[in-house]
Amino acid sequence: MAVTLLLLVPLLTAVALLALPASVDGGRDGLTGAGRGVGLAALVATAVTALLAVVVVAGSMSVDLPWIRALGVRWHFAVDGLSAALVLLTALLTVAVVVHALAGRTPPGGSRATYLGCIVLVETGALATFLARDALLFFVAFEIVLVPMWVLVRRFGDEHVPDERRADAAGRFVLFTAFGSTLMLVGVLVLVNAAGTSDLDALAARAGALESGTQLTAAALLLAGLAVKVPVWPLHTWLPSAHTIAPTAGSVLLAAVLLKMGTYGIVRLPVASAPDGVATLSPALALLGVAGILWGGLACLVERDLKRLVAYSSVAHMGFVVLAVASGSETGLQAALFGNIAHGIVSALLFLVVGDLKERWGSADLGTARAALRDKAPRLGLALVVGLAAALGLPGLVTFWGEWLALYAAWSPAPDRPVGLLRSCVVAGAVGLALAAAYSLRVARIVWAGEGGDAAEGDAAEPVPDSRGWQWGVLVTLLVATVGLGVAPHLLLGISAQDVTTLLGVGR
């Protein structure tokens, strides 16, 4: 029952928040009593959700009821090693996002209730996706996040850009991901049609029995569809604009949660249910992953907008995850899952910082000379530096393990993968790491150290208010997580080890 509650609490909260009439929700600033009530309700709901998530993960709970009998779809949600960390990440991160949102001002474009409602609805969709144990249910859950995310970008997006750009970014996000998920749906249907069931466990169990042609078709469709969400180069073009335009909460959710749905989906669906097809396609996957790493890194080197830069770095990081998946080994999958979490934490951290900066500066253009952050806002500066260090994969921080393991796994892949190609990819990936170091240092030099160019004058030289109160608390939590998991990765790796082994074992 806790699983159902885990989904129902945010869902009902979101519906209630969205249905609030405009007169009650207290407007954008939330200074009225009603506004505070709304905020409190959202906070309590997400906190309860997080608590439930912990309970569910700790108890490995599940729910399995008939839902659409005609399609054989069951209301089947469960948590296992693959999804546990993601569920926790989603639930906790949403709390952080809500706290952060409540501490700051609501972006223009709508009421606070709508804003929070959309955030909570995205959480619902993400949780449902990670928990779903039925392929079609997975697809349905996968789609839930689209509309609230669209609203977040379309309506609460960057107020400084013209309306058409917001529309373009939001539309591009929805259309790309809708296209991807429809392709995924077709792939799911191919699988379901061939295997005669839509239960993910059963699908994985019957994977060996599938013909190679079917496997290849299904894997191609699923990978193509999910690659949009990940995103894999060259399907990533929706990501930078969406991230740039979205409000801070939207960016964080996008990067830390939505992208994970893609990689999680790849592990859950094609890798588990059509392993031979994935094996056939793995060279392409690896190449695209590496292309993403390099492309993202190069783009970061020349990108002027800080938010876009972080977005491109996400593309690069996701490239490592894809490379890890392509390796096909147990280590690879572990690396992919770990990289997922790591990127979730780090990108959340970075987007929070960058979002705050952008809000304070009015724009996030690196070309504008500004006062050094380390002097004016040391807390934000610290968070930025740690985040950048994590982005370049510094040992001792959480990202290091994900990327290092990914390269390691690709160097010694599963026996049925092309070793030579993957090793070349590793070399290229290492170059990508170097690029990451270069762009991280570039940003740190310009923003943190204030060495962007000429000495800042006028408004730009004014100190920005530093992060305080709840917002700082959120940043600190993420910083702790970044360092903590970097020091003790086995906390996370241990959770998924068993299930990864099972998954690969079943698949063969």
Partner 1 sequence: MTGGLVIDVGALWPALFPLLGVVAVLVADLVSPRLRETPFVIAAVAAGFGAWTCLPGVLQTSGEVRTSFCLPSGWTVPAASGSGEAVGAAAAAGNCLWQADSLSSALQLAANLSALVVLLLAWPGRRARATDPGTTALSTPSPTSEPVQAVLLLAALSGTVVVAAARDIATWLVALELATLPVIALVALSGGRRAVAGAVQLLVTSLVSFALLALGAALWFAATGSPFLSGAAALGAQGAGVATGGVANAALLSLSVVLVVAGLGFKLSLVPFHAWTPTAYSGSSLPVAAFLATVSKIGALAGLLVFLRAVAALGTPGLVVVAVVAALSMTLGNVMALRQDDVVLLLAWSTVAQAGWVVLPLVSVSALGTSASATYLLTYVVATLVAFAVVALRAREVGVAARRLDAYEGLWRRTAWRAGALGLALTSLAGLPPGIVGLVGKVVALRPVVAEGWTWLTVVAAANAVLGVAVYLRWLRPVVTSVDTPDAGRSAPTVAVASRWGGPGRRGPLVAALVLTVAVLFVVSVQPDLLFGLLG
Assign 3-state DSSP to the chain and report helix, strand, coil percentages, each to 5: 75, 5, 20
Full 3-state SS string of 196-236 = CCCEHHHHHHCHHHCCHHHHHHHHHHHHHHHHHHCCCCCCC
Gyration radius from the chain CA atoms: 22
Full 3-state SS string of 236-299 = CCHHHHHHHHCCHHHHHHHHHHHHHHHHHHHHHHHHHHCHHHHHHHHHHHHHHHHHHHHHHHHH
The residue written with tokens 């780090």 in the block is: 346
Determine which residue in the list 41, 43, 51, 68 makes contact with partner 1, applying CB under 8 A: 68
Q: Which is nearer to partner 1, 167 or 301 (CB)?
A: 167
Q: Which helix (H) or strand (E) holds 326?
A: helix 306-327
59 contact partners, CB below 8 Å, separation of at least 6: 2
Q: Which is nearer to partner 1, 67 or 470 (CB)?
A: 67
**Minimum distance of partner 1 from residue 67's CB (angstroms):** 7
Q: Which is nearer to partner 1, 20 or 435 (CB)?
A: 20
Q: Which stretch binds partner 1 (CB under 8 A): 50-58, 92-100, 174-182, 246-254?
A: 174-182
Binders of partner 1 among residues 192 to 231 (CB under 8 A) are 192-193, 217
Q: Which is nearer to partner 1, 173 or 448 (CB)?
A: 173
Q: Which pair of structure tokens corresponds to residue 400?
A: 């290091």
**Minimum distance of partner 1 from residue 198's CB (angstroms):** 10
Determine which residue in the list 3, 6, 20, 348 makes contact with partner 1, applying CB under 8 A: 20
Q: Which is nearer to partner 1, 112 or 317 (CB)?
A: 112
Handedness of CA 12, 18, 21, 26 (dihedral sign): positive
When asked if residue 174 is in the footprint of partner 1 (CB under 8 A), the reply is yes
* Rounded Cα gap, residues 331 and 137, in angstroms: 29
270 contacts 223 by C-beta, under 8 angstroms: yes
Q: Which stretch binds partner 1 (CB under 8 A): 39-47, 64-72, 237-245, 338-346?
A: 64-72
Q: Which stretch binds partner 1 (CB under 8 A): 91-99, 184-192, 340-348, 464-472?
A: 184-192
Paired sense of beta strands 73-78 and 62-68, if any: antiparallel
* Rounded Cα gap, residues 490 and 178, in angstroms: 36
**Minimum distance of partner 1 from residue 251's CB (angstroms):** 19
Binders of partner 1 among residues 79 to 138 (CB under 8 A) are 109-111, 114, 125, 136
Q: Which is nearer to partner 1, 172 or 423 (CB)?
A: 172
At 66, the amino acid letter reads: P
When asked if residue 171 is in the footprint of partner 1 (CB under 8 A), the reply is yes
Determine which residue in the list 2, 47, 189, 464 makes contact with partner 1, applying CB under 8 A: 189
Binders of partner 1 among residues 144 to 163 (CB under 8 A) are 144, 146-147, 150-151, 154-155
**Minimum distance of partner 1 from residue 179's CB (angstroms):** 4
Residues binding partner 1 (CB under 8 A): 18-22, 66-71, 109-111, 114, 125, 136, 139-140, 143-144, 146-147, 150-151, 154-155, 167, 171, 174-175, 178-179, 182-183, 185-186, 189-190, 192-193, 217
